Amino acid sequence: MILKVENVVKEFKFERGFFKQEAGVVRALDDVSFEVEEFSSLGIVGESGSGKTTLAKIIMELIPATSGKVVFDAERITNFRKDAQIIFQNPYNSLDPKMRIINTLSEPLLIHGIVPKKHFRDKAVELLRMVGLDESLLQRYPIEFSGGQRQRICIARALATEPKFILLDEPISSLDLTIQAEMLDLFLELKAKLKLTYIFISHNLAVIRHIADSVIVMESGKIVERGLKDAIFNSPANTYTKLLLEAARG
């Protein structure tokens, strides 16, 4: 086990109406618990608003939980900011438009002292190759790239710190289906080659089917079904899971 999520609850305060006459809390996560095994890949599905991104942010310590906790195995994740990385859905606003690719990739190398400064360029080239890009792109800016290329650069940046765990929040949802298929292969290849552990969030069950070993289904902040991939796909118990499968069958 590399990661344990224990009874996590997250509430957001909200106000509504011109005079803020309505106020209250939304419970975005309601008592969520699960474990992730090392070298495995956990798929999380659920429709928008079900709490997936909120959960991702809590796991990555980007926002605090209202109650409950997230525990990483201290023997495996020794330096959290280095060993655990996140990749977001939108490759368009997750890269600094004013930074050349070489600098985007060098930044984490410098912060975490991955290699000496004189090797930054070599390492950056190695990272680009790993994600299927050419070194000729090093001096270019994000604006010159397509969505798929940008997401590859985001992956290269995440890999720069030599992480053990990567949380992917709908990493391919905004891309063309053909590019999604390519990226999926890349994620599988990297996982095997670099011995990674994944949490992979997606609303597409066909994607989850390729990448996950086990699956969690979320609805309105709650886990409504969980199990090994084959069990979920072959004999779903929950009505909502069945609905998702139905929609994906077309």
Partner 1 sequence: MSNLLEIRGLKVNFNLENQVVTAVRGVDLDIREDEVLVLAGESGSGKSVTALSVTRLLPKTAEIVSGSVNFHWVDLAKLDEKALVSIRGKEIAYIFQEPTSYLNPVYTIGSQLSEAIMLHHDKTRLEAFKEAVELLDLVKIKEPKRVIDDYPHQLSGGMNQRVFIAMALACRPRLLIADEPTTSLDVTVEAQILQLLMELKKSLGFSLLFITHNLSIARRIADRVSVMYKGKVVEEGDVEKIFGSPEHNHTKELIRAYEKIGKI
Ligand X SMILES: Nc1ncnc2c1ncn2[C@@H]1O[C@H](COP(=O)(O)OP(=O)(O)O)[C@@H](O)[C@H]1O
Separation between Cα atoms, residue 119 and residue 34, nearest integer Å: 40
d(CA 159, CA 155): 6
Q: Which of 41, 50, 151, 161 binds ligand X (CB under 6 A)?
A: 50
Please report, to the nearest 10 degrees, the dihedral formed by the alpha carbons of residues 128, 131, 132, 134 taken in order: -10
- Give the residue with the Cβ less far from partner 1, 180 or 214: 180
Q: Which of residues 1-60 bind Mg ion (CB under 5 A)?
A: 52-53
The window from 41-49, 104-112, 147-155, 224-232 that contacts ligand X (CB under 6 A) reads 41-49
CB 27 within 8 A of CB 221: yes
What is the distance of C-alpha 159 from the center of its chain? 13
**Angle subtended by helix axes 177-194 and 147-159, to nearest 10:** 10
Among 209, 213, 222, 227, binds partner 1 (CB under 8 A): 209
Length of the chain: 250
Q: Does 13 bind partner 1 (CB under 8 A)?
A: no
Partner touching 147 among Mg ion, partner 1, ligand X, none, CB below 5 to 8 Å by kind: partner 1
Residue 147 as a binder of partner 1 (CB under 8 A): the answer is: yes
Which residues make up the interface to Mg ion (CB under 5 A)? 52-53
Which residues are near partner 1 by CB under 8 A? 47-48, 146-147, 174, 176-181, 184, 203-207, 209-210, 233, 243-250
